[in-house]
Amino acid sequence: GEDVEQSLFLSVREGDSSVINCTYTDSSSTYLYWYKQEPGAGLQLLTYIFSNMDMKQDQRLTVLLNKKDKHLSLRIADTQTGDSAIYFCAEGLRGGYNKLIFGAGTRLAVHP
Q: Return residues touching another protein (CB under 8 A).
A: 30-31, 33, 35, 37, 40-45, 48, 50, 86, 88, 92, 94-100, 102, 104-105, 107
Contact assessment for residue 64 and residue 76, using Cβ atoms and an 8 Å cutoff = no
Q: How far is the CB of 79 from another protein (least distance, A)?
A: 20
State in angstroms the smallest separation of the CB of 8 from another protein.
Answer: 9
Question: Which residue number, 57 or 98, has a Cβ lying nearer to another protein?
Answer: 98
The residue among 50, 37, 42 whose CA lies nearest residue 91 is 50
40 φψ region: left (φ > 0), alpha (ψ -120 to 50), beta (else): left
In the complex with another protein, the residue whose CB is nearer, 60 or 102, is 102
Closest distance to another protein from the beta carbon of 67 (Å): 17
What is the Cα–Cα distance from 73 to 57, expressed in whole angstroms?
A: 12
